[in-house]
Amino acid sequence: MSLPNPAGLISQMAIDLTAYLGKRGISEPRFIGIRTGGVWVAQALLQALGSQAPLGTLDVSFYRDDFSQNGLHPQVRPSELPFEIEGQHLVLIDDVLMSGRTVRAALNELFDYGRPASVTLVCLLDLDAGELPISPDVTGATLSLAPNERVKLTGPTPLALELQDLTTASAAL
Amino acid sequence: MTPLDAKRPLQLNHQGQLRHFLSLDGLPRELLTEILDTADSFLEVGARAVKKVPLLRGRTVCNVFFENSTRTRTTFELAAQRLSADVITLNVSTSSTSKGETLFDTLRNLEAMAADMFVVRHSDSGAAHFIAEHVSPEVAIINGGDGRHAHPTQGMLDMLTIRRHKGGFENLSVAIVGDILHSRVARSNMIALKALGCPDIRVIGPKTLLPVGVEQYGVKVYTDLNEGLKDVDVVIMLRLQRERMQGGLLPSEGEFYRLFGLTTARLAGAKPDAIVMHPGPINRGVEIESAVADGAQSVILNQVTYGIAVRMAVLSMAMSGQTAQRQFEQENAQ
């Protein structure tokens, strides 16, 4: 399967996001990327929008629902939100949307900072494999993968998508 | 319970992750750095309006304190609560029965409460280790201080304090001053500083309060405070442990203060930006002058704040490592 080029997707996403926010009457959104891939996408998106807006970064490790299966992520870093959340319109950005659990964790974390006026979800790729009622408002592309396949974003410059095969990946270990 | 690898330290699981936290002895630098990094993230959580994360929701943390403590106990309670765990604290007074029997019986009772984690403080060295050896395999044990042996969370919160104020350990001179002999904090700090690559660790105290063979920790020994403090970046003062002192080690507290008390004048011999630390509770006018304890170079209260974050890191990492170990053993049994 050939994977799309993230740069091409992001310029279209910038156009779609501007239209979406315009339709909603949102003039000063706060941008937040989910660590790590989501932050890269957010940086590229802000650049495509020609925006100098500060970027918040969110590390959802403390909010994940798989602690009892997978434990704590070893490289957790502090979340940094250089603006108020209370009453603000947020644009939450992630790289790959799969089960929706990362976004759920991110929403839980955001609400511990305050009560946002709205949250718009932007994802570079939607793998159409949701396990929760969460779907993006703006998407770069939608892909369907085989059960043994995963997509990984590498970056930050250049951003590239990489297809991983779980069967060979575990054999390599 | 048979260990899978007899050489593996009791406190690490099959992947080298923390499952108990008993001592800093033998822990690799990478693991200590991971604790500090995780604590940094929890420090950010502590600055939010809602200072709580759902990580240990549904878990029960039991603080078992055989020895009095205010700071350690309350910060462990707060740490567990900020991780959304249920917390109970038992102040168990030590009885005259032999330590093995008492600990064992207490342990069985606590296990019956289905706690996932015990934080243990005990006046006997090795108590936490003993409990970790005999507790049911799914329970994680955290040492909140055992006798003169170790106080690993204090050691790590001191390291976090140094890293946050000095940026790292590579070029630092650190002096640990006072009652080294009775201090588990000193022991944990010496081990941690060495493991994290601090090149100049000094211990300063009267000969009677320096343990025999303290040089084996890779430290330089000074019996003169002015000489030992010269150009240091960090001064860690220790509490004079009056309750552990059994006659004859010191002529008087006044004499100790005159020779080893940290005063403004003595601190002037350290680097101008040196920080002053103390594990608390401080004895004003015994080991430290009030003007220093409350002065601009003092980070004593920051240490308390960092202590909560470090304890959150250790509690969540040990729970995580213990869970992984249990899964690994279940998979292997199948």
Q: Tens of pLDDT along B226-245? A: 999 999 999 999 998 776 66
What is the reported pLDDT for B1? 38
Q: Which of the two residues, B136 and B175, has the higher pLDDT score?
A: B175
In this structure, is the dihedral angle defined by the CA atoms of residues B287, B290, B293 and B295, taken in order, positive or negative?
A: negative
Task: Specify the pLDDT at position B4.
Answer: 41
Least confident of A114-118, B37-41, B103-107: B103-107
Predicted local distance difference test score (pLDDT) of residue B5: 44
Distance from CA of B260 to the nearest CA of A (A): 40
**Residue B93 pLDDT class (50, 70, 90 cuts):** low
A70-118 per-position pLDDT tens digit: 888 888 999 999 999 999 999 999 999 999 999 999 999 999 999 999 9
Q: Hey, is B201 helix, strand or coil? A: strand
Q: What is the pLDDT of residue A167?
A: 80
Contact B55 A78 (CB under 8 A): no
Least confident of B51-60, B103-112, B293-302: B103-112
- For A:103-162, CB contacts with B below 8 A are 108-109, 112-114
Mean pLDDT, residues B133-137 taken together: 88
Query: Touching check for A20 and chain B: CB below 8 Å?
Result: no
Q: Would you say residue A77 lies in a domain?
A: yes
Per-residue pLDDT band at B101 (split at 50, 70, 90): low
A68, A78, A108 ranked by CB distance to B44: nearest:
A78
Decide if A153 is inside a domain: no
Q: What is the C-alpha separation between B64 and B151, in angstroms, rounded?
A: 15
- Note the pLDDT tens digit of each residue in A20-29: 999 999 999 9
Residues with Cβ within 8 Å of A22's Cβ and at least 6 positions away in sequence, in order, are none
pLDDT of B145 over the 90 cut:
yes
Is A71 within a domain?
yes
Round to whole Å and give the CA distance between B334 and B330: 6
Per the structure, the count of domains in chain A is 1
The lowest-confidence range among A153-157, B6-10, B269-273 is: B6-10
Q: Is residue A159 part of a domain?
A: no
A99: domain CATH number is 3.40.50.2020
Return the higher-pLDDT residue of A172 and B317. Answer: B317
Interface of A with B in 74-93 (CB under 8 A): 74-80
Residue A43, pLDDT > 80, answer: yes
Does residue A1 lie within any of the structural domains?
no
Amino acid B333 reads A
Q: Does the beta-carbon distance from B54 to A59 stay under 8 Å?
A: no
Q: Does B324 contact chain A (CB < 8 Å)?
A: yes
- The whole-number average pLDDT for the span B294-309 is 97
> Is B320's CB within 8 Å of A72's CB?
yes
- Block residue for tokens 């081990």: B191
DSSP annotation of B44 reads H
Preferred mutation among B17, B19, B320 to probe A, highest tally of A CBs within 10 A? B320
Q: What is the ipTM of this complex?
A: 0.82
The 10s digit of each residue's pLDDT in B247-279 is: 677 878 888 999 999 999 999 999 999 999 999
A-chain CB neighbours of B35 within 8 Å are: none
End-to-end CA distance of chain B: 17
Nearest CA to B154 out of B307, B319, B30, B301 is that of B307
Structure-block tokens of residue B113: 């409460």
Indicate the SS3 state at residue A160.
Answer: strand
Is residue B37 scored above 60 in pLDDT?
A: yes
Instruction: Tell me whether residue A42 is in a domain.
Output: yes
Q: In this structure, is residue A80 part of a structural domain?
A: yes
List of domains in chain B: 29-151+305-333 (3.40.50.1370), 153-300 (3.40.50.1370)
